[in-house]
Structure 1
């Protein structure tokens, strides 16, 4: 019974794309021949709201969304505020060069490109499959 209350409480921003659970915002991770590309939906944020870090083989994205609305009409006054903080930590494959990572933000989508080192690109392990 209380679970429903807390679920509704977590959606205080009123935005269906805004995550209310600790698993974080919607994201895609794609590994190409020479890089790992991560795309994360962060609707309604500005560049100042977003922090991206790479440490210990993990990509972490944090953000804060603040919405404030005031409205005055004859007979009433309305003032609403909402706040939401998000974070997402994504494990990176071995050989990703976090020092050369690049990030861009456009139309609510954060894209982080993390190149792989030449050693990681060249490394291919073939594993023999036996009847078992």
Structure 2
């Protein structure tokens, strides 16, 4: 715990002394990013930068649930194309279909979800055809 500021010493010199002593003890030596430029320093100023960074770190989305599910369905279709097995295709489709069905059951928030569950059999057939075209 840091010591309390002694009376009669202004805050600036007291804080500067605390920082200097901590630096001399090496307490800042193992900080991540030491010696590297600040990220996004050349980007235009965004007063909500910290909110966006926190949301990215926490993997949060500001999208309404219906749009988030659409985005996940698009990502699932892309993942199907890169799947290594039929089982993996079906797992990807089953996972996104659960989210689609849950979104349909939930009260509507945001734009309506005009998205039906994905047809696993059709996607498996298309996946197979795509694999045959490669080999």
Q: TM-score range by the shorter chain?
A: under 0.3
Larger radius of gyration: 2
Whichever structure has more helix as a proportion of its residues is 2
What TM-score do you get using the length of structure 1 for normalisation? 0.25
Whichever structure has more strand as a proportion of its residues is 1
